[in-house]
C-alpha cells in the first residue's frame, strides 16, 4: 500500500518532502501555493531542483498536487472559467517540473446554471487542460464531492459523463474521497451498503480509473452533504467501514492519502498508525 498525508509547503516547497518522509510516508500530497489565492509567483528553479533531489533521496513513490480551491472548472462565468483552465494548466506544468505524477481537481460548481450545463463546461475544461499539456507526463484526477450547493461530482455518474467524453482517457483518473462519498449519500458504513457503493463505482467509473483515495472519516451523517473531515475512527464512517476499503483488493492500485484534521503535532502519526493497524486486521471486515 502507498500511504501518506497532505503535507504543508511552509518555508520552501521542498521541505514538504522531509515532512512526509519523517512520517514514514510512501506517497504525499501538497498544494503548490496558497489554496485560497490565485498564483502570484512561479516556483524558483532552484526550489524545483531541490524538491526533485529530496524526493529521490526519500524514495517517495507518488506525489500528488492538489489544485487550489478558487479554481472552478464548471463555472458559467467566462472570466472565472478561463482563469480556472489557465491556472490548472499552470499547475500541470509545475507538477511536471516537480516530477509529480498527478494533479487533483474538484469537479467544480455549476453555480445554479444546471447540472447538464455544468457537466458540459467541466468536460470542455478537462479536454482543454489535457490538450494544452499533452506533452507532459502528468495525469489529471477528478475528485468526487459532498454535493453541497451546486457542486458537481457528488454522483459517480457525473464522473462517468466526463470520462465518456474525454479526448485523452489515459490521462484522466479519479480521486475517491471517503468523507465526500459518505456525505453525498454513498453508504460506506454497513457491509451491504459498502458493497453496493463499490459495485456502483466499478460500473459507473471503473476500477482502472481509481488512482488516489483520500481516506477520511466524516463528522456528519450519510447524505448530509457536509464536507467535514474527521480523524479515522472518530466519525460516522468508523473503523469498520474504513477497514473494508483499506483491505479491498479492488483498491490495491490506488495510493491512500489522509486529509484528516491536524489538531496536534501528533495527529498525522496517530491517523497513519490507525491505517496500518486496519491493514493488519485484514479479514475482520468481510472483504
High-pLDDT (> 70) share of the chain, %? 98
Alpha helix ranges (H) inside 99-237: 115-132, 156-165, 178-184, 191-204
On the question of pLDDT at 286 being above 60, the answer is no
Residue 114: count of CB within 10 angstroms of its CB: 12
170: confidence class by pLDDT, cuts 50, 70, 90: very high
3-state SS, residue 272:
helix
- Three-point CA angle 1, 134, 114, nearest 5°: 85
Q: What is the pLDDT of residue 185?
A: 98
115 as an active site residue: the answer is no
Q: Does the residue 205 lie in any domain? A: yes
Candidates 91, 115, 143, 268; catalytic one: 143
**Dihedral class, residue 112 (left if φ above 0, else alpha if ψ from -120 to 50, else beta):** left
Q: What is the pLDDT of residue 33?
A: 85
66 as an active site residue: the answer is yes
208 as an active site residue: the answer is no
High-pLDDT (> 90) share of the chain, %? 93
Q: Which of 33-42, 55-64, 94-103, 184-193 is least confident?
A: 33-42
167 as an active site residue: the answer is no
On the question of pLDDT at 113 being above 60, the answer is yes
Candidates 155, 180, 182, 231; catalytic one: 180
Q: State the average pLDDT for the chain.
A: 96
Candidates 19, 106, 182, 244; catalytic one: 106
On the question of pLDDT at 206 being above 90, the answer is yes
pLDDT tens across 85-95, in order? 999 999 999 99
Burial 252-265 (b: 16+ CB within 10 A, else e): eebbbbbbbbbeee
Q: What is the pLDDT of residue 35?
A: 78
Q: Does the residue 195 lie in any domain? A: yes
- Domain span at 233: 3-280
Q: Which three cell numbers stand for residue 77?
A: 462565468
Mean pLDDT of 153-170: 97
Which distant-in-sequence residues (6+ apart) come within 8 Å of 142 by Cβ? 105, 106, 107, 126, 153, 159, 162, 172, 173, 174, 175
Q: Which of residues 94 and 287 earns the better pLDDT score?
A: 94
225 as an active site residue: the answer is no
Q: What is the pLDDT of residue 23?
A: 98
On the question of pLDDT at 287 being above 60, the answer is no
Candidates 34, 46, 69, 167; catalytic one: 69
Backbone angles phi, psi at 5, to 5 degrees: -135, 165
Mean pLDDT of 12-22: 98
15 as an active site residue: the answer is no
Q: Does the residue 99 lie in any domain? A: yes
236: confidence class by pLDDT, cuts 50, 70, 90: very high
Q: Does the residue 241 lie in any domain? A: yes
Mean pLDDT of 76-81: 97
Rounded alpha-carbon distances, angstroms, from residue 243 to 174, 235, 246:
20, 13, 5
Q: Does the residue 114 lie in any domain? A: yes
Candidates 165, 195, 259, 269; catalytic one: 259
Place of cell 491505517: 275
Q: What is the pLDDT of residue 281?
A: 78
Q: Rg of the chain over CA atoms, in angstroms? A: 18
Q: Which of residues 71 and 284 earns the better pLDDT score?
A: 71
34 as an active site residue: the answer is no
Mean pLDDT of 238-264: 97
On the question of pLDDT at 283 being above 70, the answer is no
Number of structural domains (the chain) is 1
251: which DSSP letter? G
112 as an active site residue: the answer is no
Q: Does the residue 286 lie in any domain? A: no
Q: Does the residue 285 lie in any domain? A: no
Q: What is the pLDDT of residue 105?
A: 97
177 as an active site residue: the answer is yes
46: confidence class by pLDDT, cuts 50, 70, 90: very high
- Stated pTM of the model: 0.96
285: confidence class by pLDDT, cuts 50, 70, 90: low
CATH number of the domain encompassing residue 12: 3.20.20.150
Mean pLDDT of 26-36: 90
Distance CA 214, CA 72 (A): 20
151: which DSSP letter? B
110 as an active site residue: the answer is no
Q: Which of 19-33, 36-50, 233-247, 263-277 is least confident?
A: 36-50
Q: Does the residue 287 lie in any domain? A: no
81 as an active site residue: the answer is no
Candidates 227, 230, 248, 268; catalytic one: 227
Amino acid at each position: 500500500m502507498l500511504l501518506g498525508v497532505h503535507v504543508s509547503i511552509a518555508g520552501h516547497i521542498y521541505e514538504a518532502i522531509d515532512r512526509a518522509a519523517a512520517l514514514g510516508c510512501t506517497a504525499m500530497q501538497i498544494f503548490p501555493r496558497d489554496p485560497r489565492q490565485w498564483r502570484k509567483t512561479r516556483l524558483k528553479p532552484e526550489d524545483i531542483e531541490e524538491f526533485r533531489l529530496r524526493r529521490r533521496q526519500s524514495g517517495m513513490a507518488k506525489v500528488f498536487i492538489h489544485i487550489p480551491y478558487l479554481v472552478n472548472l464548471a463555472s458559467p462565468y467566462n472570466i472565472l472559467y478561463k482563469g480556472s483552465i489557465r491556472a490548472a494548466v499552470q499547475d500541470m506544468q509545475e507538477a511536471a517540473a516537480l516530477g509529480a505524477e498527478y494533479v487533483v481537481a474538484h469537479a467544480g460548481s455549476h453555480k445554479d446554471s444546471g447540472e447538464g450545463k455544468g457537466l458540459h463546461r467541466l468536460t470542455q475544461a478537462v479536454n482543454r487542460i489535457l490538450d494544452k499539456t499533452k506533452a507532459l507526463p502528468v495525469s489529471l484526477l477528478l475528485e468526487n464531492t459532498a454535493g453541497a450547493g451546486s457542486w458537481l461530482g457528488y454522483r459517480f455518474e457525473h464522473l462517468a459523463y466526463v470520462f465518456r467524453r474525454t479526448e485523452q482517457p489515459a490521462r484522466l483518473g479519479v480521486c475517491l474521497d471517503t468523507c465526500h462519498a459518505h456525505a453525498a449519500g454513498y453508504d460506506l458504513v454497513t457491509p451491504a451498503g459498502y458493497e453496493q457503493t463499490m459495485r456502483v463505482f466499478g460500473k459507473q467509473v471503473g476500477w482502472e480509473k481509481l488512482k488516489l483515495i483520500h481516506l477520511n472519516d466524516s463528522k456528519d451523517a450519510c447524505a448530509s452533504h457536509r464536507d467535514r473531515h474527521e480523524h479515522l475512527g472518530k466519525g460516522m464512517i468508523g473503523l469498520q467501514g474504513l477497514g473494508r476499503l483499506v483491505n479491498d483488493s479492488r483498491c490495491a492500485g490506488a495510493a491512500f492519502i489522509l486529509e484528516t484534521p491536524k489538531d496536534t503535532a501528533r495527529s498525522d502519526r496517530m491517523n497513519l498508525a490507525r491505517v496500518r493497524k486496519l491493514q493488519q486486521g485484514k479479514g475482520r471486515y468481510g472483504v
